Structure formats: structure tokens, C-alpha cells
Structure 1
Amino acid sequence: MTAAWSGMMRLGELSQGPRTVVLEPDAEQRAQIARQIDVVSLPALRVELEVRPWLDGAEIIGRFQAQVEQTCGVTLEDFEQPLSGAFEVQVVPAGSPHAPDEDSEMELDLEAPDPPDVLAGDAIDLAAYVFEHLALEVDPFPRKPGVNFEFDAGPEDDSPFAVLKRLQDPKG
């Protein structure tokens, strides 16, 4: 994520308790986001975040509503569609006792919650987390509503073996 759109919050701001943050990028920022997530355009994006203290870091609970314009993979026509998503992320500062140990082997458990992200400093770029989860929600093979892909194989080509069999079998 580039610095074109950011929503920075310092961990110290949470000493007063949970914070509600609303992020709405302007038209220029949405255009840059659209290029980065490979959509035609991003006419609308509104994000509501609740950031609250969690251990010695923060927990970010976010919900976003967006309107994306994509190109249909069947008709090649551009169309708009709504996109929404929700996410929950925990972050801790570097050196936290709750940070995952980089030297130990990580055990893969698909049912376990993700380990917390480790911050480089004492600030959280909330927009970066939104960007990441927005990109994951974009359909990589968009199809305009109501459009069906109908495959027409065309005339059946003879395999080389079928041609050889006909040459050997005069009745074929």
C-alpha cells in the first residue's frame, strides 16, 4: 500500500479506551486504490472501524462497503457491483511478549486464530488493513449479473489415433 491513503493511529491514543474511526478515501485516493487492486474504478468506499486495547497492542474490527467497477470475463463489458466485507486483526508493538517468536517453528492450525501482527513502530496504518481485506474480496473472475458462459466445443476434431484407425480399417 502506498502512502496515497493512510489512516494512522498511535497505540497511545487507546489509553482513553476504544475508538471508532470512519475512513472514506477521496476520488483521487479511490482511483489509486482501484489501480492497485486491478479494478476499473472504485466509485465508493466507506469503512467503519472499532479500535480497542488488546493486551499491550490493539484489536481492529472493521466493516467496509464499496462499489467496484470491473470488466466482465465473459462479455468484456464494464459493470458495477457492491462489495462488502468484515475483518478482525490484532496488533502488538515490536518487542511485545505476545508477539509471535520468529525463531520458533510455527504450527499450522486452520482453526486457531491468526497470531497478532507486529508493528514496526507505535502507529497502526488502519487504511493498510482495509486495503488488504478489500483486495481479498475482489472477484478475480468477475461476471456481469445474468451472464452465463456457454462453451461451444465446435466440430469434434479427430485425434491422430482415430485417423490411423480409419486408415487401417477400410469399413471405418
Structure 2
Amino acid sequence: MSEAWTDIVKLHELARGPVSVKLEANEAQRAKIARDLALKSLPSLSAEVTVRPWLDGAELSGRFRAVVEQICGVTLEPFEQPLRGDIEIRVVPAGSPHARPDEEGDVELDMESPDPPDVLESDSIDVAAYVVEHLALEIDPFPRKPGAEFDYQPPPEEMSPFAVLKKLQDPEA
């Protein structure tokens, strides 16, 4: 994801209890995130996340708020849209017995069960990267400015020369 905005929490920091993280991306960071997510701009992005110990890893929970500027797919005009979202994710270190094993063949998915934990590459959790990931999931891939209507009028049907001749012979047709 975006390397422009990072906020690291180490797994060993959770031994003292939950860690609360308040994040607010600055202008340069928002500009880089906007480019990475193919947005016109990102006027604001902030989050409040609590990182708690979970098994041998961590659980992240919180909320983010953002304002994204996109181009309307109908009018091609830029417009801003506020977004909010929840962050709920679990992470475990590499080699954890709680990590989902690499399975080959058929994998059964249970839509009611929680997602398997993410496996960390090191003992560091980049909280900001998870905020950007959840923001990306909330962005409408087909943005439409409020009130924009798609009014397609098919071009008038072109008449063939034979249809014109038939109309001349039979004016009621």
C-alpha cells in the first residue's frame, strides 16, 4: 500500500496493555495517498485506532474519517464525498500457530466467521497502512456526483434508401 504514511506499533509494546493511536495525515501524505488510490485529491484523513494484544499477535479496532475528491463518471466534474469506516483486523507474527496455513486445493469459506488474521512480516504493525487499506475499500469505484443523472438518448434510427422508397409508395407506413 502507500509508503507515504506510516505509524508503527511494535508487538512488544502491547505487553503493557492496549495502545491508542490517533492519526492525521498531513498534506503531503494525503497527496501521495490520493495518487496511490487514483483520487483527484484527499482533503482530509484521520483515524482513531486501538491496538490490543490478541493471542500471540494483535487486534486493531477503530474508525477512520476522510473526505475524498473524485471525478463523476457521468458529468466528469470533480466532487467531494465524506467517508467513514470501521477498522477491525487481527494480525499475528510469521510462524504463528494461529496463522492460516497455506492450503492447496479447495478452500471452504464461511461468510459468517471472522477473517483469518493477517501474517506480519516482522514484529511491526503499520497502523496507517491498515487505515489506508480500509479507506480504499470504502471508495466508490464508479463515483457519481449527487444529483447527476445519466440520460441516454439513442441516436435517431437512420433509414435505409429502401425504407424511404417504401414510405413514398405507401404514405401511411
Instruction: Identify the TM-score tier after normalising by the shorter chain.
Output: 0.7 to 0.9
Partner of 2:135: 134
Which residue number corresponds to residue 45 of structure 2?
45
Aligned residues: 166
The equivalent of 2:56 in structure 1 is 56
Query: What is the CA–CA distance in structure 2 between the aligned matches of 1:23 and 1:48, rounded to whole Å?
Result: 6
Supply the distance in 1 between the matched residues of 2:2 and 2:49 (Cα, whole angstroms). Answer: 20
- The question of whether the paired residues in 2 share the 8 Å contact of 1:10 and 1:122 is answered with yes
Structure 1: which 5+ runs fail to align?
none
How far apart are the structure 2 equivalents of 1:157 and 1:14? 72
- List aligned pairs for 1:60-139, cutoff 5 A: 60-103=60-103, 105=105, 106-139=107-140
Gaps of 5+ in 2: none
Q: Is the Cα–Cα contact under 8 Å of residues 62 and 130 in structure 1 kept in the other structure?
A: no
How far is 1:103 from its partner?
Answer: 4.0
Deviation at 1:10, TM superposition (A): 0.3
Post-superposition Cα deviations, 1:112-169, rounded to whole Å, max 9, x if no partner, equal: 21110111111111111111111111111111111111111121357x9xx79x99xx
Whole-angstrom distance in 2 between the partners of 1:31 and 1:108: 37
Instruction: List structure 1 segments (4+ residues) > 4 angstroms apart after TM superposition.
Output: none
% identical equivalent positions: 57
- TM-score, normalised by the number of residues in structure 2: 0.87
Paired position in structure 1 for 2:147:
146
Q: What TM-score, normalized by structure 1, do the two folds share? A: 0.88
